[in-house]
Amino acid sequence: MSIYKKLLIASVSALFCSVAHAESTYVSIQPLFQQHCLLCHSGQHAAAGLSLDSYEGIKKGSLRGSVVKASDPEGSELIRRLKGNSQPRMPMTGPPFLTDAEINRVAAWIKAGLPKGQTAANGSQNVASSNKPDAGKPVNYTHVAPIFARRCVKCHTERGLMGSAPEGYLLNSYAATLSAGDRVRIIPGNSAASELYRRIKGYSMPRMPHDGPPYLSADEIALIAGWINDGARDSSGRKAPIPTGARVRFEGQLNALWNVDGATLIITGNTRIKKIPRPGDRVRVEGWVNAQGQVEVERIRRR
């Protein structure tokens, strides 16, 4: 091999290594975090205490410890979450999740030893408290998932802050949020009778999130109500099916016969009415969802 060819190969190799190193810095991958992660992982209520809006935040890690291990991408929880090796897979608004190429960029940065870069930002800029839909567009899961991630998932996940998720209810994915389980908490098209909405509104107790006050803002509550009322659409915009036959249970104030904090109840000849509740009384409602998304009451009793 000629000396000129050797020099050319060496020059190209050096250039390639220089470019690769330049691309493997926090500065270079910060736009990925900005696009996919900061709606949940930024600010005072960052999900799991993990702030991805600064170099210092990502190195500090979450409430459970480090999420990146220098030079060890496969041993880093961040990569495991992005790939789905650890659950729930991130970002919580997925699918779609990050592409393989995007994940590889984050892995390359970790493999390079977590270099910061010379112009790393020290905080997020203009990160909205919720990802509101464009005017005239329906609300879907991608718009409300960041609220759940920041304020709810810390408890409503496997091995959360309170141990097991309260009453086994998970809020770390679309499927889990709509799951009927022992009972359904979301009735597509009917927020007033949806226990999740009633809890964050304070109609049913205890009010959620458990670490409030402060509770969710009026705008955040309205966004979640709009999402439910418009069919609890998934990330692709498809409406959720009505969980016909699913069990329902909630508490509230009886405003009129038969309306509990705006939730109209269907009373039948089979309904058991206990302690003769009257308007103004707090009541406990148990029943099931009919094909129209209404609550047919099996039992209602004064508290």
Among 111, 126, 154, give the residue marking a domain's end: 111
Looking at the fold, whether 164 and 53 belong to one and the same domain comes out as no
Looking at the fold, whether 151 and 264 belong to one and the same domain comes out as yes
Looking at the fold, whether 167 and 66 belong to one and the same domain comes out as no
Examine residue 134 and state whether it is found in any structural domain, yes or no: no
Q: Along the 303 residues of the chain, how does pLDDT read in single tens digits?
A: 555 444 444 443 433 344 444 468 998 888 888 778 887 888 777 888 898 988 999 999 998 899 999 999 999 999 999 999 998 899 887 888 899 999 999 999 999 999 998 754 444 444 444 468 888 899 999 899 989 988 898 889 887 778 889 999 999 899 999 999 999 999 999 999 999 999 999 999 999 999 889 999 999 999 999 999 999 999 999 999 999 999 999 999 999 889 999 999 999 999 999 999 999 999 999 999 999 999 999 999 999
Examine residue 170 and state whether it is found in any structural domain, yes or no: yes
Looking at the fold, whether 174 and 275 belong to one and the same domain comes out as yes
Looking at the fold, whether 164 and 295 belong to one and the same domain comes out as yes
Which token pair is 239?
Answer: 């409406």
Query: Rounded to 5 degrees, what angle do the CA atoms 291, 296, 299 make?
Result: 155
**Cβ proximity of 27 and 93 under 8 Å:** no
Strand, helix or coil for residue 9 = helix
How far apart are the C-alpha atoms of 129 and 39, rounded to whole Å? 7
Can you give the pLDDT at residue 1? 54
Looking at the fold, whether 15 and 148 belong to one and the same domain comes out as no
Examine residue 136 and state whether it is found in any structural domain, yes or no: no
pTM score, whole prediction: 0.71
Looking at the fold, whether 291 and 146 belong to one and the same domain comes out as yes
Looking at the fold, whether 99 and 152 belong to one and the same domain comes out as no
Looking at the fold, whether 82 and 147 belong to one and the same domain comes out as no
Distances (CA, A) of 292 to 138, 162, 224, 243, 247: 21, 36, 20, 10, 14
CB neighbour class for 178 (10 Å; exposed up to 12, middle 13-18, buried from 19): buried
How far apart are the C-alpha atoms of 154 and 156, rounded to whole Å? 6
Examine residue 223 and state whether it is found in any structural domain, yes or no: yes
Examine residue 284 and state whether it is found in any structural domain, yes or no: yes
Can you give the pLDDT at residue 256? 87
How far apart are the C-alpha atoms of 168 and 171, rounded to whole Å? 10
If we measure between CA atoms, which residue out of 260, 303, 297, 256 comes closest to residue 283? 303
If we measure between CA atoms, which residue out of 81, 115, 123 comes closest to residue 98? 81
In a 13 Å sphere around the CA of 297, the CA atoms on its Cβ side amount to 24
Looking at the fold, whether 175 and 254 belong to one and the same domain comes out as yes
Examine residue 200 and state whether it is found in any structural domain, yes or no: yes
Looking at the fold, whether 106 and 202 belong to one and the same domain comes out as no
Examine residue 131 and state whether it is found in any structural domain, yes or no: no
Examine residue 178 and state whether it is found in any structural domain, yes or no: yes
Among 111, 130, 162, give the residue marking a domain's end: 111
Can you give the pLDDT at residue 129? 44
Looking at the fold, whether 225 and 165 belong to one and the same domain comes out as yes
Domain that includes residue 97, residue range: 3-111
Q: Which residues pair with 84 in a beta bridge?
A: none
Distances (CA, A) of 209 to 132, 171, 213, 238, 265: 20, 12, 8, 27, 26
Which token pair is 102?
Answer: 């995007």
**Cβ proximity of 91 and 36 under 8 Å:** yes
**Percentages of the chain per state (helix, strand, coil), in multiples of 5:** 35, 15, 50
Burial 263-296 (b: 16+ CB within 10 A, else e): bebeeeeebeeeeebeeeeebbbbbbbeeebbbb
When divided into structural domains, the chain yields a total of 2
